[in-house]
């Protein structure tokens, strides 16, 4: 408001000019989140995407203890998911559920109907397949609605460029935007980041990250069964299809990519990688038709020449490793002891993470041990107190850097950040015009198999 008022001599003069009245109206719309929080003590939530992660995000939202919050609308393309999510949330938050049947929407346009139930200052949760993120974000910005969107939030260069523009627009409208990269809200990692920036392990020269376990989610898929369209099948099993989710690489590995880049306080400039498909048949001998590789090994390079190695594997019966490490010129750190950001983080003398050479270990208050809850506490605090809070640009960058490693593996080429950002391969154009009767972004062959990456053969795009 100061930028506008400083250009006027008085409130009376300001209101005399109709052009300036229009400018004031524009500003009031931009400032709506702050004003709404002051006028009504209840923040309304709309959940768009009612799978497990969306239900979890809504649970965290309704668990914030900073004033009344209510869930008022839900939307999904699959009615059974919406029903299950509603039932689970009703068990935990019955007093905060105000979602009558006429505010439970099913279909590809459910996001619009759910958002239309909100007012400026309220929050829309986007937990649909990431391919749709830009479509939903664009509509929320138009309506002046704050957003929490699950990761990843882009899957290719063209959608990343589009989302960067939308992010700038959301900042101009003073919208609060949270991104589900909860590692950034881990109090243990916050403590470790500060110590690394203070030089306690010296200059970071090497980072390692591992997520290796058996198949989970919709990692692999069998040929499409009867009774469901190709489009709905790909949306339903989104982990299996790169256009919808970035595949298992983007969905499973983005947290480690993001928090390691945070510890380094930099983003990689290039990547080279390898990957392979190994056991691609079900126990019944049916060939899986998804686009994922079973193994990935990526070498990210920062501008200073230091390296970040990421290994991923989805194969049963192998050694499970799920952790991350940073090695510096003066010592090393355990970033995530287990999982995406599992506590405690620690710093050690030398390069071996042993208890005997540990010099520091994170300590976190019991009420701040969940980064999933912390990110919602932080977002709602920003909304109620009009604090600057917009994670969109950082979330887009993290998603793009994750896709950078994936593209390097899928093409067999060294790929730079600028190359993937400026790539012309939009994997699913026209998602804002999609209907239930639209053709699917991927077409299966006569055996029901979808295109897969062919490193060294298909070099300019991932499939």
Phi, psi of 70 (to 5 degrees): -135, 145
Torsion of CA 110, 114, 115, 119, to 10 degrees: 160
Given this model, what pLDDT does residue 36 score? 43
At 17, the pLDDT band (50, 70, 90 cuts) reads: very low
- The residue among 325, 375, 436 whose CA lies nearest residue 79 is 436
Distance (Å, rounded) from C-alpha 360 to C-alpha 228?
54
Contact 14, 5 (CB under 8 A): yes
At 28, the pLDDT band (50, 70, 90 cuts) reads: very low
Q: What is the pLDDT of residues 403-443, one digit of tens each?
A: 999 999 999 999 999 999 999 999 999 999 999 999 999 99
Q: What is the pLDDT of residues 343-396, one digit of tens each?
A: 999 999 999 999 999 999 999 999 999 999 999 999 999 999 999 999 999 999
Enumerate the CATH 3.40.50.720 domain ranges in the chain, comma separated: 2-183+382-390
- The residues pairing with 73 across neighbouring beta strands, listed in sequence order, are 46
Enumerate the CATH 3.30.360.10 domain ranges in the chain, comma separated: 187-366+398-433
Mean pLDDT of 150-154: 98
Q: What is the pLDDT of residues 309-337, one digit of tens each?
A: 999 999 999 999 999 999 999 999 999 99
Given this model, what pLDDT does residue 279 score? 85
Given this model, what pLDDT does residue 182 score? 98
Q: Does domain 2-183+382-390 have CATH number 3.40.50.720?
A: yes
Given this model, what pLDDT does residue 204 score? 98
- The residue among 309, 357, 297, 274 whose CA lies nearest residue 204 is 309
Which fold does the domain 187-366+398-433 belong to in CATH? Dihydrodipicolinate Reductase; domain 2 (3.30.360)
- Which of left, alpha, beta for 213 (phi over 0: left; psi -120 to 50: alpha)? beta
Given this model, what pLDDT does residue 118 score? 98
Percent of the chain with pLDDT over 70: 91
Q: What is the pLDDT of residues 182-239, one digit of tens each?
A: 999 999 999 999 999 999 999 999 999 999 999 999 999 999 999 999 999 999 999 9
At 155, the pLDDT band (50, 70, 90 cuts) reads: very high
Contact 372, 381 (CB under 8 A): no
Contact 463, 452 (CB under 8 A): yes
Output the average pLDDT for the chain.
92
Flag whether pLDDT at 139 surpasses 70: yes
Mean pLDDT of 292-301: 98
At 39, the pLDDT band (50, 70, 90 cuts) reads: low
Given this model, what pLDDT does residue 40 score? 64
Which of 6-10, 60-64, 332-336 is least confident?
Answer: 6-10
Given this model, what pLDDT does residue 434 score? 95
């Amino acid at each position: 408001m100061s930028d506008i008022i400083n250009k006027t001599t008085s409130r009376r003069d300001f209101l005399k000019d109709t052009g300036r009245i229009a400018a004031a109206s524009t500003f009031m719309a931009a400032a709506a989140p702050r004003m709404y929080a002051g006028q009504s003590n209840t923040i309304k939530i709309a959940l768009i995407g009612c799978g497990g992660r969306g239900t979890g995000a809504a649970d965290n939202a309704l668990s914030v203890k900073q004033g009344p919050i209510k869930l008022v609308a839900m939307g999904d393309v699959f009615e059974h998911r919406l029903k299950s999510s509603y039932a689970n949330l009703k068990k935990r938050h019955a007093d905060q559920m105000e979602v009558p049947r006429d505010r439970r929407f099913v279909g590809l346009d459910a996001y619009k109907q759910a958002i239309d139930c909100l007012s400026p200052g309220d929050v829309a949760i986007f937990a649909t397949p990431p391919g749709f993120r830009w479509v939903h974000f664009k509509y929320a910005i138009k309506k002046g609605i704050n957003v929490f969107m699950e990761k990843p939030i882009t899957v290719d260069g063209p959608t990343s460029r589009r989302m960067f523009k939308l992010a700038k627009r959301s900042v101009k409208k003073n919208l609060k935007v949270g991104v589900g990269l909860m590692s950034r809200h881990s109090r243990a990692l916050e403590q470790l980041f500060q110590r690394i920036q203070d030089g306690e392990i010296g200059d970071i020269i090497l980072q390692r990250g591992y997520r290796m376990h058996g198949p989970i989610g919709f990692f692999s898929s069998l040929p499409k069964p009867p009774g469901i369209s190709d489009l709905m099948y790909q949306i339903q099993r989104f982990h299996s299809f790169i256009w919808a989710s970035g595949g298992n690489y983007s969905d499973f590995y983005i947290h480690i990519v993001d928090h390691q880049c945070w510890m380094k306080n930099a983003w990689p400039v290039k990547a080279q990688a390898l990957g392979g498909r190994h056991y691609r048949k079900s126990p019944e001998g049916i060939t899986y038709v998804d686009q994922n590789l079973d193994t990935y090994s990526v070498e990210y390079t920062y501008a200073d020449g230091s390296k970040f190695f990421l290994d991923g594997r989805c194969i049963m019966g192998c050694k499970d490793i799920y952790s991350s490490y940073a090695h510096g010129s003066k010592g090393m750190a355990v970033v995530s002891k287990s999982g995406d950001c599992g506590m405690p983080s620690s710093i050690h003398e030398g390069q071996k993470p042993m208890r005997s050479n540990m010099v520091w270990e994170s300590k976190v208050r019991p009420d701040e041990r969940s980064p999933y809850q912390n990110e919602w506490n932080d977002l709602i605090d920003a909304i109620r107190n009009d604090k600057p809070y917009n994670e969109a640009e950082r979330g887009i960058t993290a998603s793009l850097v994750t896709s950078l490693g994936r593209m390097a593996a899928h093409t067999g080429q060294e790929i730079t950040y600028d190359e993937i950002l400026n790539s012309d391969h939009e994997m699913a154009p026209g998602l804002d015009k999609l209907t239930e009767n639209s053709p699917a972004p991927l077409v299966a062959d006569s055996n029901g198999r979808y295109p897969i990456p062919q490193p060294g053969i298909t070099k300019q795009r991932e499939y």
